[in-house]
Structures are given as C-alpha cells and as structure tokens.
Structure 1
C-alpha cells in the first residue's frame, strides 16, 4: 500500500493541463498524483487533494490566475511549465473531499471505529467477539492490500484514511486472515469450540466454524 504523509507531499501539475480546466470555468479536481479531471470523474481508488473552479479574474498573469483558484492553504508555486501544490494546510478539507472514497478513517484518539463498506464492516463486527479488533484488521489491510494510505503524522499527532484499490479482494483477504487467526487461537487453546456463549458461536459460524 502506498503511504502518503500529507506533511511531506508536494504535488506537481502540468500548467497547460491545469489552464485548460481553469479556462473551461467548470469545476475540476486533482488527485494525489497531480492528475486533473472534471469534478467527480477521478478514479474512486485515488485520494483527492482539491476540488474547485476558477473565479472570475481580470489578470492575464498565470501566477495570479492560479493563485485565484487555490486557497493559500495549498501554497501554489509556478515554475516554468509546472505548478506545485503543498496541500498540508488543506488537510481537513482533503479529509472531507475523500469521505465517500475512504475504506476507513483512523482517528488520533478513537482509532478505527468503522469500515465504510457494509460487507467489510460486517466482517469486522463479527471478529470482535473473537478478540480480533479493528486495529489488527486495519494493520493487516495496510500491510497486505493495495491502495493508498494518506495521513498526517508529525510525531505527536496522527490521523489518516485508507482507500483500497480492490474492495472485493480486500474483503476476501481480510476474511482469510481472520479465519487463520481463529485456527491459531484454537490450536493454542485460546479458543474452544465448546463451552462458548451465543455471541461467539454466531461469530464462529459466520467464519465457517461450528461447535
């Protein structure tokens, strides 16, 4: 999984491509790789860093035109044929932009509380009675699945979100991981298929185990 610390991210965009969208007066968006699209047309598997459109401006200076599009939080810099954005200051806006894309959000204090995909959330929910928590599952996803993990980490504060590239493959891998964890717990006598309460029995059945 690609890790993107917003603190260190500089996004380079070809000015010619950018100006085409600015001059169209239509809303457009930019992904973390610096590719520009009409609004709502970027691949859902890529994190966005910007969505907006040009404001009316009388200036013909490229620097001024671009400065009028991006807020100061993006610190746009124009050099030859490239515009560079430093989007750290827009982090809260970036989180909001990606709300409908993220697989889960990792909060500074609350950690991972919810998987946005209903089926993945159901898998995670059924793992809890078996002492397999969302932190373990999210770390498995980050280490074993393809996608993007965009976060802010300055050594003292951390939060971020994950967007997986293939949700079907991710669900399959996560379920296989949990089944493996259950088998390990049984082998180590940490979990018995006998003398279990109803909640654990239901979770075991969900993952294909029966007492």
Structure 2
C-alpha cells in the first residue's frame, strides 16, 4: 500500500481548466496527486483532498488570482503564473470527512482501528478477535500487502489516517488467507482455547479444519 504523509505534500494546481469552466454550477474534485475531476466522478480508490460540488463560476471572471483565492480559500493558496500552490494539510480534518464514504478504515493513535467499513471485512475482523488476531494485526497486514493508499498525518508525535483499497474483493481474499495462516500459528503456540464457544464459531466461520 502506498503511504502518503499529507504533512509533506504540496500540490501545483493548473488554474487554466478552472478558467475554462462553463458559467453556472460545476463540480470540482481534486485527488492527492493533484488530478482534477471536473463534473465527473472520481474513482473510489482515490484520496480526495478538495471537493466543491456546487462551484458557481461568475460570468466573465477570468482573473487567475481571484478564482484561486475563491476556490482554495481554506488552503492558503500561493499563485505563481497560472499555477496555484496549496498545502492540503491545512484542511486535514475536512479531508478526512471528504473520504469517509470510501475509506476502508480510520486509524487513530489513541483508538487505533476500531471497525472496517466493508461489512465482509468487518465480519472477518470480529470473528478473528476470538482467534487472537486483532484489528491492528489485520490493518498492518493490509497496509503491507494490499494495493491501495494510506493517507495520514504523521509528525512522529501525532498520527491519524485512513486507508483506501484498489480492489475490495482481492483485499477480502488476502485478509481471509492471512487470518487462516495466523490462526495456524496461534494454535501451534497454544494461544487459542479450541474448546471455547467463540473460538469454535470463528473456526467454523473461516471454514478452518483441524487438518489445516
């Protein structure tokens, strides 16, 4: 998984396409790589750093500085020629909200990962807890082995961030296989009480057989 620390990101946004917007309302979305999506949907695996669903371009307004400051007011824009420089970290808390619908999970330094937003992976996480596999272990596996993006704020004292995966079906398969393999290790190490009702239920859920 690609890890991006928003603290270190500065984007150069070409204002020309925004000058060419039709008069009236426009939907503008920009992702973490500075790619603009104008009046079109953004792929669900892309981290959004800016969104204005109802930007209304004023008629005959072609002033680059005026448009930049109007659109990116919350990002403290710096304009050089036709390029607008912005630092997304300034609007980090709002950016988290922009991605809430598509993130797989949110990670916080104090609370950690508490839930997977995908219902199938959440079932995996819930059942895996009985097998001595917690959400942290699963999220670490996802970040190290699955394709996607972890967008975070990390200054070595504070940390929080969220994960977006490229292919949820593939991620589910990888996580299930990880849980099964980790369960084998935990059984060998005597960490799991095989006669516990929750353990029995979890083993059945993952179709785990003693011969595994």
**TM-score scaled by length of structure 2:** 0.90
Aligned residues: 208
What pairs with 1:141-152 in structure 2 (closer than 5 Å)?
141-152=142-153
Q: 1:81 deviation in Å? A: 3.5
Answer with 39-48 or 132-141: which moved more. Answer: 39-48
1:31 correspondence with 2:31: yes
Is residue 47–residue 150 contact of structure 1 (8 Å, CA) maintained in 2?
A: yes
Answer with 38-47 or 99-108: which moved more. Answer: 38-47
* Structure 1 segments (4+ residues) deviating >6 Å: none
Q: Aligned equivalents of 2:3 and 2:23: distance in 1?
A: 33
Answer with 102-111 or 39-48: which moved more. Answer: 39-48
Aligned to 1:45: 45
Q: Aligned equivalents of 2:77 and 2:147: distance in 1?
A: 30
Is residue 15–residue 68 contact of structure 2 (8 Å, CA) maintained in 1?
A: no
Is residue 149–residue 162 contact of structure 1 (8 Å, CA) maintained in 2?
A: yes
What pairs with 1:1-211 in structure 2 (closer than 5 Å)?
1-21=1-21, 25-38=25-38, 41-52=41-52, 53-54=55-56, 56=58, 60-71=62-73, 73-191=74-192, 193=194, 196-210=195-209
Is residue 6–residue 152 contact of structure 1 (8 Å, CA) maintained in 2?
A: yes
Aligned-residue RMSD, C-alpha: 2.0
Answer with 137-146 or 33-42: which moved more. Answer: 33-42
Task: Extract unaligned runs of 5+ from structure 1.
Answer: none
Is residue 104–residue 165 contact of structure 2 (8 Å, CA) maintained in 1?
A: yes
Helix, strand or coil for the counterpart of 1:156?
coil
**TM-score scaled by length of structure 1:** 0.90
Q: Aligned equivalents of 2:28 and 2:44: distance in 1?
A: 15
